[in-house]
Amino acid sequence: MTMGRPVPTGTAVTIGQSRRRATMRRALLATALLACPLLMGTSPAFARSVALTTTAERSGFKQTGRYDEVVALCDAFQDVYPQSVRCLTFGTTPEGRPMKAMAVSTSGALDPKAAQARDLPVVLVQGGIHAGEIDGKDAGFWLIRDLLQGKVGAGLLDKAVLLFVPVFNADGHENFRAWNRPNQRGPEQMGYRVTAQRYNLNRDYVKADSPEMQAMLGLVNQWDPLAMLDLHVTDGAKFQHDISITGEPTNSGDIALREAGNALKDGIIAKLATQGSLPVGFYPSFVEDDDPASGFIHGVSTPRFSNGYFPLRNRLAILVETHSWRTYPERVRSTYNTVLDALELTATNGTCWLQLARDADARAAALGGQSVPVEYKATDKVRTIDFLGYAYTRTPSDISGGTMTRYDETTPQVWKIPLRDEIVPATSVVAPKGGYLVPQSYAVAVARQLLTHGITFRVLTAPLRDPNAQAFVADAVQFSPTSVEGHQRVTLKGAWTKHSAEIAAGGLYVPIAQAKSRLLVNILEPTAGDSMAAWGDFNNAFERKEYMEGYVAEEQARLMLAQDPALKAEFERKLREDAEFARSPGARLDFFYRRHPAWDAGTNRYPVLRTDTVY
């Protein structure tokens, strides 16, 4: 699995890195001393603990620090609290920056094996996946300092491990300037939404194109966090609510595990309501852009998103979206409270939730032959809600020529607007009873993807013959006219049918009987919206590679009609009943070509097969 470029080693580089980090730590300490001269006479340990502050705190949350501050603080926290903090480098970005995480616990469990041995729940808190939405970085460092100094959450870190990634998108963080977030109040400057390679990391979870995501999934595979919080700032309208908390499994995934998902989500919302926030439990994006009267539709994210991905691993995911029009100090405080609330809930319920997750793993391993939803939708059931907004007008614009919305933030107003939040499966597939078979020619590409996600498979050491395998042939193929994340996506319609398979040595057998079976289905079922096929990884299979010239097709068609009365009757019936077919010379000739021995049987055939046999 590609983890990005390795961190350079060697005496000169190691010494240089050490010196730079020491210099940064001294700079942080010097800044703290200048800000508070009374520290000059205090103990070194106390002075170092005070130095664990951020640019955001020292500027009154007008600014946020650069990425070198993240690196220095990660090291400094470990220096000050060596028994409770481990600073980790889990990858390297395309521009050569170390990807940093902090394992924080007063239990002594600062590595994955120790956490698992002590049966401690791990909470992954991910900041800066969109690096302009940087509240989580500054909130996280502030909260960790307060936890370790005993100001909040007494005993929490004895019962859980906090795995904190301050900035997931480190290269995007250093694309640093004002106006990177034009719909956001503060800080004065911030990073950018996408990576140096222009990947949107929160569209990359399941496809895992970027080195950053490959590194993150390596971290996830090692630590197996029970819960993940993805810290964002939402754009959109101006309203009074300061934060939204959504997550799964609450409407999707393992049904019994939804008990834990709902308890975590609802528990955070309830706690925030007592802490000065006005939280909502759905993503507040209007049905019709810029029109509050259109209301909201709740949904389930697909696995390209963090909160759609983790439930497929039978783990909890919370999407945190502070509201962009709140000030930066307000947003950081509400993020701080959210992470603290999640830790409290996990510490209290961790034993129960870990067991629910393990039970979900066991059920997933027995998913063969069962229906698995791969897409969800809101029903037409509507309820009217009171939503705390502001007075607004919608008037014609002489600038855009459309309708513009003006909000009056001096006039709070309760909007009575529709919400559709009853969620049901929209598309489901029946999982194979045995698993998937991957021909040798595609084994490397598929194996790379499965390894990235920690999915088990076996490389065949001898040929495998399965007379009852199933092949998928698409009867409708729609390629996207535009590129998405560097891919030409494709929508496929078709069916699995019986097909005798001959898989050579070097091919793969991927059993469905494993804990990540839901994720496996979403990766290898061709009709799943974020599958390898949907992202265009098999587009060659859905392109016609051979043709029959028109004059040859004309000759062969007459011979076929003369020799096959049933074919002649079928052709004449189609002419009568299908006007579009009758008008199309190409479709009429293609009718015969598809029934001729010259037809390429591999056209539109998905290369991965299914089997109901356990190997």
Tens of pLDDT, residues 461-479: 999 999 999 999 999 999 9
Task: State which amino acid sits at residue 562.
Answer: A
The token duo for 422 is 């009853």
Tens of pLDDT, residues 132-177: 999 999 999 999 999 999 999 999 999 999 999 999 999 999 999 9
For the cut 90, the answer to whether the pLDDT of residue 19 exceeds it is no
In the three-class reduction of DSSP (H, G, I as helix; E, B as strand; rest coil), residue 491 is classed as strand
pLDDT the model gives residue 601: 86
The token duo for 209 is 């194109």
Give DSSP secondary structure letters for 17-28.
Answer: HHHHHHHHHHHH
pLDDT band of 422, cuts 50, 70, 90? very high
pLDDT the model gives residue 118: 97
What is the Cα–Cα distance from 163 to 146, expressed in whole angstroms?
16
pLDDT band of 18, cuts 50, 70, 90? very low
By mean pLDDT, which of 26-30, 163-167, 180-184, 303-307 is the weakest?
Answer: 26-30
What count of Cα atoms within 13 Å lies in the side-chain half-sphere of residue 374?
23
pLDDT band of 306, cuts 50, 70, 90? very high
pLDDT band of 50, cuts 50, 70, 90? low
- The closest alpha carbon to 202, from 182, 157, 232, 176, belongs to 232
pLDDT the model gives residue 13: 31
- Return all residues near 127 (Cβ < 8 A) that are at least 6 apart: 134, 135, 136, 137, 139, 140, 164, 165, 166, 167, 168, 231
By mean pLDDT, which of 4-8, 28-32, 388-392 is the weakest?
Answer: 4-8
Which is more confidently placed, 439 or 3? 439
The answer to whether the CB of 384 falls within 8 A of the CB of 420 is no
For the cut 90, the answer to whether the pLDDT of residue 12 exceeds it is no
- The closest alpha carbon to 120, from 225, 219, 218, belongs to 225
Tens of pLDDT, residues 546-595: 989 999 999 999 999 999 999 999 999 999 999 999 999 999 999 999 99
Tens of pLDDT, residues 500-539: 999 999 999 999 999 999 999 999 999 999 999 999 999 9
Share of the chain above pLDDT 70, in %: 92
Cα angle: 264, vertex 516, 252; to 5 degrees? 45
Tens of pLDDT, residues 431-441: 999 999 999 99
Average pLDDT of the residues in 189-214: 98
For the cut 70, the answer to whether the pLDDT of residue 376 exceeds it is yes
Q: How many helices (H) and strands (E) does the chain have?
A: 18, 21
What is the H or E stretch that residue 321 is in? strand 316-323
Average pLDDT of the residues in 181-206: 97
- The closest alpha carbon to 173, from 156, 189, 158, 192, belongs to 192
Task: State which amino acid sits at residue 88.
Answer: L
- H runs (alpha helix) in 274-327: 306-309
For the cut 70, the answer to whether the pLDDT of residue 483 exceeds it is yes
Average pLDDT of the residues in 103-112: 97
What is the Cα–Cα distance from 503 to 460, expressed in whole angstroms?
8
Q: Would you mind telling me the total number of residues written for the chain in this entry?
A: 615
pLDDT the model gives residue 234: 94
By mean pLDDT, which of 13-27, 103-117, 353-367 is the weakest?
Answer: 13-27
Tens of pLDDT, residues 394-408: 999 999 999 999 999
- Taking the CA atoms of the chain, what radius of gyration do you get in angstroms? 28
The answer to whether the CB of 233 falls within 8 A of the CB of 322 is yes
Q: Are strands 371-378 and 423-430 parallel, antiparallel or unpaired?
A: antiparallel
pLDDT the model gives residue 51: 78
pLDDT the model gives residue 48: 56
pLDDT band of 375, cuts 50, 70, 90? very high
What is the Cα–Cα distance from 611 to 373, expressed in whole angstroms?
19
Residue 559 CB neighbours (<10 A): 11
Residue 513: which region, alpha, beta or left (left: phi > 0; alpha: psi -120 to 50)? beta
Residue 249: cis peptide before it, omega within 30 degrees of 0: yes
Cα angle: 25, vertex 30, 32; to 5 degrees? 100
DSSP state of 478: E
Average pLDDT of the residues in 425-434: 98
What is the Cα–Cα distance from 457 to 169, expressed in whole angstroms?
30
- The closest alpha carbon to 139, from 165, 120, 160, 159, belongs to 165
What is the Cα–Cα distance from 505 to 97, expressed in whole angstroms?
40
pTM assigned to the model: 0.90
The answer to whether the CB of 260 falls within 8 A of the CB of 352 is yes
Residue 597 CB neighbours (<10 A): 6
The answer to whether the CB of 79 falls within 8 A of the CB of 87 is no
Share of the chain above pLDDT 90, in %: 91
pLDDT the model gives residue 47: 52
pLDDT the model gives residue 38: 36
Average pLDDT, rounded, for the chain: 93
pLDDT band of 235, cuts 50, 70, 90? confident
Q: Are strands 161-165 and 122-126 parallel, antiparallel or unpaired?
A: parallel
Q: Which residue has the tokens 């603080």?
A: 73
- Backbone phi and psi for residue 283, each to the nearest 5 degrees, phi listed first: -80, 115
The answer to whether the CB of 385 falls within 8 A of the CB of 293 is no
The answer to whether the CB of 76 falls within 8 A of the CB of 25 is yes
The answer to whether the CB of 249 falls within 8 A of the CB of 261 is yes
